[in-house]
Amino acid sequence: MSVEPESGAPVLLAGVRDEIVTRPWMSPDRHWPAYPGLVGGRDLEAGGTWLAADPAGRRVAALLNGEGTAAPAGRRHSRGELPLLAAATGELPSLDLSWYDPFHLVLGGLDGVRLWSWDGDILTEEKLPEGVHMIVNTGWDRGESAPRTAWFRPRFARAARPGWTTGGSSERFWGEWLDPASGAGLPWDDPRALVMRRRLPDGRVFASLSVTLVALAEQGLRYDFCPQPDDPDTWHEIDTSWTRPAEPVRRPRG
């Protein structure tokens, strides 16, 4: 996350989704009738999403799995509903969090960026100050203790920050931010890698399935998506325009 309140695009988000490669999903769109204004990729196994954007509200919410005490199996809810609720309301709604496995939920808007962390017992809330920040599965990595954070945070900080422009390719809009968001060419098995791939002991493959870039500004919300992280040429802008369906015409009787 990059927060710079006085810039043309005050909030920037670069998000990488890591998952088992066989888990089915759909690319970002307006998948949820209950949330017609939201855009995000859909997890077909759990039904929710890892990131939801509200173009009209200039908000974006992203979820990371956390560490701690898991929810009881018999009453566990999908964490994939949390980005939808947060993006739609601008808050972490009042919920019984004991239903959810540990998580970190990031919510960005024109008023700044907040981070909620739930470890199965305690919920914390923090507001991110101005600057570039890395959120990982252990939470907000302030000290750059992880190799990934130590290598990538300075690179995002040094990259020229994109200003607000309308239209254009992903490369034109994001400029120098596109290279670190695409993994900066590091091998997938490098401990610093942002875009990764590895085989688990049970034979399954765990890998980065997609990368997302979102910019928030007074003028709008820009959403770019890379569905094949091994091919930066697959970056493209997601259409976030939407026209509310017209109400049916009600003709008087008689």
pLDDT digits (tens, 9 = 90+) for 132-161: 999 999 999 998 778 999 999 999 999 999
Q: What pLDDT does residue 246 have?
A: 39
Counting Cβ atoms within 10 Å, is residue 200 exposed (0-12), middle (13-18) or buried (19+)? exposed
The residue-averaged pLDDT of 36-54 equals 96
Share of the chain above pLDDT 70, in %: 95
Q: Which of 6, 46, 48, 9 is nearest to 31 (CA)?
A: 48
Taking the C-alpha atoms of residue 177 and residue 138, their distance in angstroms, rounded to an integer, is 24
Average pLDDT over residues 201-229: 97
Segment 223-233 mean pLDDT: 96
| pLDDT for res 144 | 76
Average pLDDT in the 30-59 region?
Answer: 96
**DSSP 8-state class, residue 102:** -
- Alpha-carbon Rg for the chain, nearest whole angstrom, is 19
Residues 23-48, mean pLDDT to the nearest whole number: 96
For range 42-70, the mean pLDDT: 96
Pairing verdict, β 197-199 and 205-217: antiparallel
pLDDT band at residue 74 under the 50/70/90 scheme? confident
Q: What is the mean pLDDT of residues 57-75?
A: 95
pLDDT digits (tens, 9 = 90+) for 94-110: 899 999 999 999 999 99
- Asked whether residue 27 carries a pLDDT value surpassing 70, the answer given is yes
Please determine, for residue 230, whether its predicted confidence score (pLDDT) is greater than 50.
yes
